[in-house]
Amino acid sequence: MTNMPFKLSYSFEGDYRRKPEQNLSGASKKETRELLLHRAHEERQKRQEERLKLRSTVTIQSYIRSYLIRKRKKHEERLKFDECVNILNLKELLGKLLFFYNPKLDNKRLEYICEKLLQNHVEVLKHMDFDSSLNWSIRRILYLCLNGLSQQELARISLQCITVFTENTDSRTKLEIWPYLVNKGYFRQLRMFLDNSGEDNEHILTLIRRPFEYLPLISLPQQVELILSEFCNHFLCPRITPQVKSILIPYLQKCRTFPYNEIIKFLNKSQDFDATNSLFYCVLALEPTDYVPTKDSIQVLASLSVNLYQLLAAIVNISEDSDDEEMEVSSEQVCLQDYIHLLNHADRVKRIILYVDEYGSNEEVLMSIIQLCHNLLLTCKDSIRKFMLPFMLALKGTFLNKLWLSIKKHETSTLQMTGGSLGQWRDIHTAISVFCDMFTFYTETLTDSETSDTSGTFSDSDLYLMSDILKNMSLSLIEMAFPMCRASGIPSTPEILHLYNSCLSCVKMLYTLDLRKNFCKLGFWTRKKIHISQDLSRKNYLSKTIIPFYGLVSENEDEHLPPLSTIEQRSLAILQQLPFLIEFNTRVLLLRDLCRYSLGDSDNMRLHREFLNDSTVVIRRTHLYEDAFEKLSRENESDLRQKIRIQFINSVGLEEAGIDGGGIFKEFVNEVLRTSFDPNRGFFLLTNDNMLYPNPNVGLLIENFAEHYYFIGRLVGKAIFENILVDLPLAEFFLVKLLVERANAHYLKSLDPVLYRNLLYLRDYSGDVQDLGLDFTTISNDLGETKVVELKPNGSNIPVTNYNRLEYIHRLANLKLNTQIKRQCLAFREGLDSVVPLLWLRLFNHLELQVIIGGDTQEMDILDLRAHTSYGGEFTPDHPTVLLFWKIVQKFTGSQKKQLLKFVTSCSRPPLLGFKELNPPFCIQSSGTEDRMPTASTCLNLLKIPIIKEEEILRNKLVSAIEQQAGFELS
């Protein structure tokens, strides 16, 4: 015991049995039963502790004796090894080394043994087939060599030894090496060695591959799974290093013995692996060039891509930090591009699509493809255009039909979504998200034909049912996004936000499609139960940002707005996202309120502001546009919402009589806009349907054309703000571009119907498109000068084929609709937005915007006009001439009624909400005897007719006046 490194706290004299203590005092008469029991319990516990203490002492002593004996024995064996190294045979040396080996003391001895083994490897390998103990010793030596890879002095010899003794291990006894080494960290040590080597080492690559050469010979499934699991854990799942990415993966991808299909099956069956982006990248990069997709591979891609969106989140988070991390941002962006490049490999996409075409009716395959596409669509903005798989599937009507049929099976649960059942409809909401994104993209492409919707992919009844389901689902999502009780709200996740946005976008697209195709019955889209609070317009909540599942976010932190109720939040969300669900008249009144309250909350405040900012602008009638452009420029009139009065100067330089109470300004706006949009001035051109759009070549005529478009946009905004109707037939695509930045290919029909039909022909061409001799160029005619415009870089050398014809169609349509008039539309939009925010105008679709600008397109209601007409002079409602006038007007054709309205009000269309809102009111006044012609004063909406008793004479005079549009005068 003298060799013990510590002393025991008491002496041991050989008497190991403890004698019970004797208490001769007898039981105390004063001691109660409870105290007696308590004392007995404590004594038992004390005896138990003593026994445990003794047992622990014996165990510790036994361990120390064992340790000292082993240490002494190893020291003796180490001395014998050194003394008899040249006398003992190799097998004995192996046994001794394995017994005493300590990495801190015996690396030189291990190196010696490895050299001896390499010198005699042929004989050793032969004996391993029938000598199990030698086989076991070699396995343990190889394990030591594995650990030696991390030590510089042993790395070279260890690598050689492992390489030699793991080659040709096809016998049953030698095959046992692989499960043993893999279980002992074979792949872990090789991964560490590879990452630290920093160079292309052929030996290490061979060793990584080698277990897979013998995988088919291993009979036990658990051993095969062990090898695959360890490989995935140490090479595929951890963070991808440059050595793995640029050296190992290309090497294994070309290796014919690499068990890619077995790994796919194993990953699909195993539940032990997290869906890391590193594993997803490796699975993509390792796929052989001739690999044919299977159900397992599709399911693996679907499950592993679930966290791909985190790459974009990482980039965003890093970019918000300091500039010191610019290198990290760049690295992450390259990584994201690597995923996009791998996923967009043409052969991979083509093979997956062929597999879906053949096996897409299988529910498991379809759901896996849906999940994969959903994960890709979550990754980044406009991801359907970045990833070729969802892009190509979205253009396949057959796939969209399968997807829609799958959704229809769950129609009931789709319509009855609640927050509590969110987890129950996870699969169906994933399918709906993907369908909405794909169908929206599909419909935005040139999918219409001359006779059918979306090239016959969906019938009118399908589109109607789709609209009904998704409209109701959108309203349910809005209710879930803004719950009555915050405690019952749904947490915001990328999946639920994507469902919310994609579903609402698809409903908006279906509404736009219905405007073209009319597959929904009249009144289908409006919901009368939606209540719009006046506070939404009074406090201008409409311009605030409201985020689903979060609530209202004010853009101005200094502005203290009262919180909105849940009902108001939902109404605001509908106004911002789905305004067409609210009746048109309600939205018009809301726009009026927004305009009115933008000048002040109360009538007194607005009157006070008008009084302070009242200004009179002098305009020469001979230079109407020029003076208006100068006097109402942004420098001279910064806020065009304020009251402006006009003083006209006639052709001889004198001020015209009269005070502008609003009528003269109305005439001014109409005349200036009529002049501005006159094609002869050069700012606008006419389509074949006589509709107005910006001149693409205006830059060749006017240098500062952007300022002019800004001014014209402001004046149109002022007309809307003041509720002045202007007879401007704007082209459909131009109206669309006032509300959104880009018009899609559908609206090319309103610009150039011939080109539109030619592109439809190209889309449906059944032969080889390349035979048509098209390339990515087009001819532009700039004021008689013809030049070639490339639709993409080097477009003249890129032929149009069956594969890229959709791209050609969209690039050509984009050039005509967006690129050529981009600056003109941008300036016009800015001017319009400076008076009436575009956010307000987006309450309406492009057709409704035309009504807002120019009035109702429906036939004029004579009874409504008569009910809201005032009379002047000797005229009364019962005057014979007045009665005769209404009798004649009632018999007018629709065209003549429009001519009459334009003759009196300068606009051929009636007001949006009826003649009750015409300001000043429509007025009829006597102009004297019957020898005079009817005249009008458009600034006052005043019609003067002579006193005539014969119907035919009055009718002829009226028709003559309105057809010639003559007889304007200041009254």
Could you tell me the CATH number of the domain that includes residue 927?
A: 3.30.2410.10
Q: Length of the chain, please?
A: 971
- Structural domain contains residue 514: yes
Burial of 195 (0-12, 13-18, 19+ CB in 10 A): middle
Pairing outcome for strands 942-945 and 922-926: parallel
Please report, as a single letter, which amino acid is at residue 961.
A
- Gap between the Cα atoms of 888 and 924, Å rounded: 14
Exposure letters 597-625 (e unless 16+ CB within 10 A, then b): bbbeeeeeebeeeeeeeeeebebeeeebb
Other beta carbons less than 10 A from residue 227's beta carbon: 24
303-to-297, 380, 382, 749 alpha-carbon distances in Å:
10, 18, 22, 43
Domain boundary pick from 525, 541, 573: 525
- Gap between the Cα atoms of 475 and 832, Å rounded: 31
Cα four-point dihedral sign 386, 388, 394, 399? negative
At 198 the pLDDT is: 67
**Which single residue is written with the structure tokens 């796919």?**
264
- Structural domain contains residue 630: no
- Gap between the Cα atoms of 811 and 468, Å rounded: 33
Q: Residue 913: which domain range?
A: 855-964
Beta strands in 495-582 (DSSP E): 545-547, 551-553
Sequence-distant (6+) residues with CB within 8 A of 470 are 432, 436, 503, 506, 507, 510
- Gap between the Cα atoms of 287 and 278, Å rounded: 14
- Structural domain contains residue 740: no
Other beta carbons less than 10 A from residue 194's beta carbon: 23
Pairing outcome for strands 684-686 and 692-694: antiparallel
Exposure letters 257-266 (e unless 16+ CB within 10 A, then b): ebbbebbbbb
Below-50 pLDDT ranges, the chain: 1-10, 315-334, 418-420, 450-455, 556-558, 966-971
The domain total for the chain is 2
User: What 3 state SS string does 338-407 have?
Assistant: HHHHHHCCHHHHHHHHHHHHHHCCCHHHHHHHHHHHHHHHCCCCCHHHHCHHHHHHHCCHHHHHHHHHHH
At residue 289, φ and ψ (nearest 5 deg) are: -65, -25
- Structural domain contains residue 292: no
Picking from 592, 584, 459, 600, the residue whose alpha carbon sits closest to that of residue 517 is 459
At residue 167, φ and ψ (nearest 5 deg) are: -90, 145
Please report, as a single letter, which amino acid is at residue 292.
V
**Which single residue is written with the structure tokens 């592993």?**
304
Domain boundary pick from 497, 525, 553: 525
Q: What angle do CA 446, 450, 455 make, to 5 degrees?
A: 50
- Gap between the Cα atoms of 456 and 804, Å rounded: 22
- Structural domain contains residue 748: no
Please report, as a single letter, which amino acid is at residue 288.
P
Sequence-distant (6+) residues with CB within 8 A of 360 are 366, 369, 398, 399, 402
What pTM did the predictor assign? 0.80
569-to-491, 558, 650 alpha-carbon distances in Å:
17, 21, 54
Out of 282, 373, 436, 939, pick the active-site residue: 939
Domain boundary pick from 460, 492, 525: 525
CA 705 to chain centre: 36
- Gap between the Cα atoms of 528 and 538, Å rounded: 22
Q: Which long-range contacts (CB under 8 A, 24 or more apart) does 746-754 make?
A: 746/444, 746/446, 746/448, 746/516, 747/817, 748/813, 748/816, 748/817, 750/687, 750/689, 750/691, 751/687, 751/693, 751/816, 751/817, 752/687, 752/688, 752/816, 753/688
Picking from 719, 711, 724, the residue whose alpha carbon sits closest to that of residue 625 is 711
- Structural domain contains residue 492: yes
Q: Are 278 and 238 within 8 A, CB to CB?
A: yes
User: Is 939 considered catalytic here?
Assistant: yes
- Structural domain contains residue 745: no
- Structural domain contains residue 757: no
At 766 the pLDDT is: 86
